[in-house]
Structure 1
Amino acid sequence: MQDGIFNNMHADLVGGFYDSGNNIKFSFPTAYTISLLSWSVIEYHEKYADIGELEHVKDIIKWGTDYLLKLFVSPSSTSAYSLILYSQVGNTDNETNCWQRPEDMSYERPIYMCNSKASDILGEIIAALSAASIVFKQENVYSGELIKAAEKLYDFTVKNDTGHEQGTYTEVSACGGEARKFYNSTGYIDELVWGGTWLFFATGNNSYLEYATERFEAAEDEEAISDTGIFYWNNKLTATAVLLTRLRFFRDLGYPYESAMGSSSNRTDQLMCSYLSDEIFKKTEGGLILQSRNNDEPLEYAATASFLSKLYSDYLDLLRRSGVSCGGDGFSLTTLRSFSMSQVNYILGDNPMKMSYMVGFGDKYPTRVHHRSASITWDDHHYSCAEGDRWLYSKEPNPNVLLGALVAGPDEFDKFSDERGKPWFTEPSIASNAGLVAALVALHEAPRKSSNSTAFNLGMDQMGIFDNIYLIT
């Protein structure tokens, strides 16, 4: 509750989310989590409402955006290049040496600050605030606050004035040095394109779309080969292509965007084919797609692949298309949806281990999740760092069930070790859980009665995302 007060700093950084069973708050994956959750609500708010979860997920998003609004101090009028961005609260030294629930923390929590060079975090925050503003569009004051902050950040972040540098936050030790081993960023243009795209949807200002489409090719050039076709906290290009394809399908703005829209559409079709082909992404014997480097922690990537494939199949369904051809191959909507469902089914227990990787779901699930709060009993006793080790190394199940948490998952051979000391199997994260939430709501049955007569009862809001966009005349 004292986050933000450190040495001579007196910022208000209370709130936000701890991540990955640790007591550290990372700004980069927090913003990504809010972007992804907001997108799922924009598309499928009817489904959320039908199962009584709409206000719940909006509360989660607002908890995140309230924190994101605290993370930056805008440039002053006297210095066009001054910006303070808080990238992290807490450090790895304390996390490595102390297994302690957050209620018992008494050690110092350092604050990490960035300047304008943290273009990736800034782009992701722009995306999160913009997407969330659409979620809260019925709440004019709060939505307006989010848009105003996003536009101010955008104006500062994308300008090319002399003296203004762009780059990744993990290039600068004081900003992202501590985060490299957890959330090392390999590029920033994809976040700026992602942010510009969402800001366009939020405002209808074509200059943001112009920036996104003009920089899309540069983002492709920057993209690491190992990240091609993957949507996760470090790569937004795949998801941006899907968003631009959505725009082309349902609100085609014509000139001068045809080339970028066509390229995005082709890329999206190729993405869907890659999900279904073993030539690009291998699958385990049990059917889990392997997209990550070294095939580790695969469930986060499988979840977003499930979300995007189901979402795109719904787009095609709205267009009354039965499938798409890509090269000599192609896919049907049925095949694409089967793939999407297969990944979620695998996560929930249809796998060789017969284990649900969502904690608390099914008869068999991980019970020794790598998570401080879950692993330490709640008995009104304060446990020191030294005392916490007994819980870290205990072979007993966690005394507190971390309901709904998605763990990292099995290895490439479908094997899983339920051990607290092996986080590569048992560690959850907010980013991976956001992907699973999006996949689950996308795959959920549509409400029997839909208020959106144009969506063929798919449970989608086909046109709501375009409320602020007008055709050029």
Structure 2
Amino acid sequence: MTLLSWSVIEYSAKYDAAGELGHVRDTIKWGADYLLKTFNSTADTIDALVAQVGSAATAPGSTQPDDQYCWMRPEEIDYPRPVIECQSCPDLAAEMAAALAAASIVFKDNRAYSRELLHGATTVWNFASDRAGNSSYLHRVIDSNLARQAGAFSAGKDHGVFSWDNKLPGAQLLMSRLWLFLSPGYPYEDMLRTFQSQTSIIMCSYLPVFKSFNRTKGGLIQLNHGMPQPLQYVANAAFLASVYSDYLEAADTPGWNCGPDFYSVEVLRSFAMTQIKYILGKNPLKMSYVVGYGQNYPKHVHHRGASIPKKGGDRGCTGGWHWRDSKEPNPNVIAGAMVAGPDRHDGFKDVRKNRNYTEATLAGNAGLVAALVALSGDEHGLDKNTMFSAVPSMFPSPPPPPAPWKP
């Protein structure tokens, strides 16, 4: 939800031009409304929130009916799905705060709903940080100790890998945005400039010339180091590279430096476009990894609702295995869904039971949508003003001019 909202805030005009603005807003509202139901969003303080609904088998060979063992359409589920609460889960709560806060900007035209979302974001943020009040938000962003503790400046193997489990590259890019467009000055300047420098390094790491990440022979960057399900990471990187190139262009900056070498914004767009084209079919297998796009796409997506026909969904927990293990194509085409993707050798197995190839996820598809809208059209189409419009003025208001002097 955070990533979708971010893309709408940046590119609402592009969504509108494609006739998809209403659709994506409905999707964000669906997710935001769900999050609001996981805690007492009308309260100012909470002591718990719902961390998970349902469970999965924890021991190999378990036959306990749950979301992992059973294969059923959502409408047919009849086994217990316990609600699991947490009293100390700051990472989850902070993610929820980000999603709700971002959605509140998307829906700023609906003042009542936007306020509801913002209040919920504040409540769950206080739960995450164990600290009330909003006067310190901006100061906490530029807290160098907090940034170091979060690993913002570390050079580990996942540095710059934007994913469901690592939001730091996105946060750093947003701080670059704040620096580029608002030039806040003291006491923010030094730390925001550091974030900008880190963002530049991340963008350099995406370029093949630096070999920071391996690539398949077909050219797919291996941001998850050859592990399964690579496309969600690739789509996210394509979005970050696209939006950063738009930031630079909107700030009248033609490119950025990687050490002593200068690279134009077109290099970033080229990287993003190459990766998205791979996903859409320009790869050794000529396989589109987006269902319904092109002629050759996965037909056995790891998705319960798509794999079970309407009149075949009453077989129970294990009876659904018939559909899971069937070699027939899914009876329901889950159009637009990006699957997990190929292996590190550009190979792909269109097998429903093998989620490493055929699973479709919300996290992956959010990045794909964001990247596609960022790359669409001939102009960058960026909304420079909305994102940080609520940030208070960085400088005191100047005094009024003196009255006209008269002799």
Shift in Å, 1:293: 4.4
1:221 and 1:361 mapped to 2: Cα distance?
37
Residue aligned with 1:379, SS:
helix
Contact 1:99 1:372 in 2 (8 A): yes
Residue aligned with 2:105, SS:
helix
State the match for 1:429 in structure 2.
Answer: 361
Q: Kindly report which structure 2 residues correspond to 1:210-359, keeping only aligned pairs within 5 A, or say none.
A: 210-214=139-143, 215-220=146-151, 225-277=156-208, 278-359=210-291
Contact 2:93 2:127 in 1 (8 A): no
Change in CA separation of 1:415 and 1:385 when aligned onto 2, cut-off 3 Å: same
Runs of 4 or more above 4 Å deviation: 74-77, 221-224
Query: After the TM superposition, which of the residue ranges 219-228 and 46-55 deviates more from structure 2?
Result: 219-228
Change in CA separation of 1:381 and 1:150 when aligned onto 2, cut-off 3 Å: closer
1:294 and 1:466 mapped to 2: Cα distance?
37
Task: Name the aligned partner's letter for residue 408 of structure 1.
Answer: A
Output one character per residue of 1:187-234: Cα deviation in whole Å (capped at 9) or x when no partner: xxxxxxxxxxxx9xxxxx652111122122221269792321111111
1:472 matched to 2:395? The reply is yes
RMSD between aligned residues: 2.0
1:459 matched to 2:388? The reply is no
1:146 matched to 2:117? The reply is yes
Contact 2:374 2:380 in 1 (8 A): no
Contact 2:147 2:153 in 1 (8 A): no
Task: Name the aligned partner's letter for residue 122 of structure 2.
Answer: E
- Equivalent of residue 83 in structure 1, options 26, 31, 47: 47
State the match for 1:438 in structure 2.
Answer: 370
Shift in Å, 1:319: 1.9
1:97 matched to 2:102? The reply is no
Output one character per residue of 1:425-460: Cα deviation in whole Å (capped at 9) or x when no partner: 0001000000001000001105xxxxxxxxxx5211
Residue aligned with 1:465, SS:
coil
1:36 matched to 2:7? The reply is no
State the match for 1:180 in structure 2.
Answer: none
Q: Kindly report which structure 2 residues correspond to 1:49-128, keeping only aligned pairs within 5 A, or say none.
A: 49-73=16-40, 83-93=47-57, 94-115=66-87, 117-128=88-99
Change in CA separation of 1:224 and 1:398 when aligned onto 2, cut-off 3 Å: farther
Task: Name the aligned partner's letter for residue 422 of structure 1.
Answer: N
Output one character per residue of 1:345-374: Cα deviation in whole Å (capped at 9) or x when no partner: 000000001000001100100000111111
Output one character per residue of 1:46-98: Cα deviation in whole Å (capped at 9) or x when no partner: 00001111011001001111111111137989xx7x61210111111312321
State the match for 2:136 in structure 1.
Answer: 207
Residue aligned with 1:434, SS:
helix
Contact 2:152 2:168 in 1 (8 A): no
Instruction: In structure 1, list runs of 5 or more residues that go unmatched.
Output: 1-33, 162-198, 200-204, 447-456
Contact 1:359 1:406 in 2 (8 A): yes
- Equivalent of residue 311 in structure 2, options 364, 374, 379: 379
Change in CA separation of 1:35 and 1:223 when aligned onto 2, cut-off 3 Å: farther
1:361 and 1:71 mapped to 2: Cα distance?
35
Residue aligned with 1:225, SS:
coil
Change in CA separation of 1:377 and 1:406 when aligned onto 2, cut-off 3 Å: same
Task: Name the aligned partner's letter for residue 458 of structure 1.
Answer: H
Output one character per residue of 1:371-394: Cα deviation in whole Å (capped at 9) or x when no partner: 111111112652212321111111
Task: Name the aligned partner's letter for residue 275 of structure 1.
Answer: Y
Contact 2:42 2:120 in 1 (8 A): no
Task: Name the aligned partner's letter for residue 49 of structure 2.
Answer: L
Task: Name the aligned partner's letter for residue 136 of structure 1.
Answer: F
Residue aligned with 2:310, SS:
coil
1:368 and 1:337 mapped to 2: Cα distance?
32
Task: Name the aligned partner's letter for residue 460 of structure 1.
Answer: L
Shift in Å, 1:294: 4.0
Give TM-score, length-normalised by structure 1: 0.78
Output one character per residue of 1:309-361: Cα deviation in whole Å (capped at 9) or x when no partner: 01000111112222111213332111111101011100000000100000110
Shift in Å, 1:151: 1.4
Change in CA separation of 1:437 and 1:75 when aligned onto 2, cut-off 3 Å: closer
Task: Name the aligned partner's letter for residue 268 of structure 2.
Answer: L
1:45 and 1:232 mapped to 2: Cα distance?
23
Change in CA separation of 1:52 and 1:76 when aligned onto 2, cut-off 3 Å: closer
2:319 and 2:120 mapped to 1: Cα distance?
44
Change in CA separation of 1:357 and 1:148 when aligned onto 2, cut-off 3 Å: same
2:156 and 2:92 mapped to 1: Cα distance?
21
Residue aligned with 1:88, SS:
strand
Q: Percent identity, please.
A: 46
Shift in Å, 1:463: 1.3
Change in CA separation of 1:76 and 1:426 when aligned onto 2, cut-off 3 Å: closer
| Aligned pairs, number | 384
Shift in Å, 1:466: 2.5
2:344 and 2:166 mapped to 1: Cα distance?
22
